Structure 1
Amino acid sequence: MNRPRVCTVVSCGESKQDLDAGETVPARELYSSSVHTCKDRYGRHSDGYYIMSAEYGLVHHRTEIAEYDRTLDNMTDTRVRAWGRDVADDLRDVLAEGDFDAVVLIGSETYVGALVPHFERLPADVLTPWQTSEFVTGVGRGMSWCNDELNWPENVSSVDEIGEVVSEG
């Protein structure tokens, strides 16, 4: 049996590189926290890797972006719902075009929560290990989960090995 094709989507981070005006870097390099480093390590072991950015929406990890100062935590509920719908629409297209079996969403309840109403529209199994794993009881445990090579998509033989399936596309 072939291993599942997994797309990973991680949330952006508040700590960012200090870039000059007009300067850009690949999205995965913009965020500078230790939490993002762990999420990035996991994402790089996936068949597809994207970042859900409060400013730019869903971006491929190699897409060049500029520094920004925006978070979902400071947006109105209406704006967060619109952001979630837009990101889910883009993610649906990515998952269909890439023929992914599953998408792993790694991020805070705010970011992952904004996508929950759209899970059933996604054409792949949706996994939210930071919200559903009994092991992940906080950010530190989430970082440990991301760093554990046994959890990396390239090392699993089924979607069930990654984490609890929230919905099936």
Structure 2
Amino acid sequence: MADQPFNAAFGQAQQQMQKAAEEFGRMFKAVPAMPDMAGAMASYQRNLDALAQANRIAIEGVQAVMRRQAEVVQQTMAELAETVKTLSGAGIAKVNPAKNAEAIKDAYAKAVSHSKELADLMQRANTEATEVLHKRVSAALDEAKALAGSK
């Protein structure tokens, strides 16, 4: 008879454990199944590859701009040295204001042209990098849709 309270408590504990296990099972069924892990990892790797490619394109673009800027600076300095040489050889008496104004106008036009060229270089690199990312995002969304549909 002393065992009856123990047996009753043990029986209740067993029933509670069984109910908890059943509840856990119902709860687990509500969780969506894990997608194809290999497919998900392959998709993630393609995302990283696309990001690395976009970064390479952006870095190459910056390097191209820097190289071109260095060329422009060298060219400008050579032209400036030639102008100074010409002006110093001409002397103050032979300075022609109209010619000087034309030289300044030409220098300004070159500076604007170089600025546009550098901006175009950077824009091309950014467009290429963005296109790589755009294609990958589109493909990743298609992959996610396919993974969701395969359940």
Q: TM-score range by the shorter chain?
A: under 0.3
Q: Which has the higher strand share?
A: 1
TM-score (norm 2): 0.25
Larger radius of gyration: 2
Per chain length, whose mean CA-contact separation is higher, i.e. which structure has more relative contact order (CA < 8 Å, sep 6+)?
2
**TM-score where L is the length of structure 1:** 0.23
Higher helix share: 2
